[in-house]
């Protein structure tokens, strides 16, 4: 078993919670600040209010829907001989693709309600959200989660 990844359901929950928490904190702050055009106390309070709901939604969506689809796509596009890094990158790519698409729509609905412009607004900001979260996931968040798993496996 790879020491950089979870070995059981409890570790998987911790790993997912780390990734989800860091991603929700970053993307909620990023998206709300860009949407409002400024950052102040009122924006900070809005972010604090929305984070728990967005976190729960993400923690449910990733393992139940998006993660399963991403894993099937990774298996479809890789061979058993492909490297750990290739498989992890594809898993991140497919997960971020699905989660960013869904969460962009949810964020748009939370910010502006459901209306005729919801779909268009979400589609127009989704490419930016996808690229930002793909970079942050790949370069910061996933390495933190994997380092946590390595430390956890050293202790055990």
What share of the chain in percent tops pLDDT 90? 90
The closest of 155, 154, 149 to 7, measured between CA atoms, is 149
pLDDT at 2 over 80: yes
pLDDT for res 112: 87
- As a whole number, mean pLDDT of residues 96-108 equals 97
- Kindly report, residue by residue over 5-26, the tens digit of the pLDDT: 899 999 999 999 999 999 999 9
Residue 137 in tokens: 């996931």
Per domain, the residue ranges of the chain are 9-155
Furthest-apart CA atoms within the chain: distance in Å: 53
pTM of the predicted model over 0.85: yes
Dist. CA 149–CA 4, nearest whole Å: 5
Question: Any idea how long the chain is?
Answer: 156
The closest of 17, 61, 137 to 6, measured between CA atoms, is 17
Dist. CA 50–CA 44, nearest whole Å: 10
H helical segments located in 37-156 = 41-61, 67-77, 84-112, 118-136, 142-155
């Amino acid at each position: 078993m790879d020491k950089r990844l979870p070995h059981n359901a409890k570790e998987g929950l911790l790993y997912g919670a780390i990734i989800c928490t860091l991603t929700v904190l970053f993307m909620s702050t990023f998206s709300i600040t860009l949407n409002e055009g400024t950052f102040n106390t009122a924006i900070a309070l809005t972010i604090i209010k929305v984070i728990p709901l967005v976190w729960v939604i993400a923690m449910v969506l990733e393992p139940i829907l998006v993660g399963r689809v991403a894993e099937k796509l990774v298996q479809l596009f890789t061979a058993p001989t492909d490297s750990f890094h290739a498989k992890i990158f594809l898993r991140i790519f497919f997960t971020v693709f699905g989660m960013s698409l869904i969460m962009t729509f949810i964020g748009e609905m939370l910010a502006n309600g459901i209306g005729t412009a919801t779909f268009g607004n979400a589609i127009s900001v989704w490419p930016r959200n996808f690229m930002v979260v793909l970079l942050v996931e790949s370069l910061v968040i996933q390495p933190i989660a994997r380092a946590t798993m390595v430390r956890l496996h050293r202790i055990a």
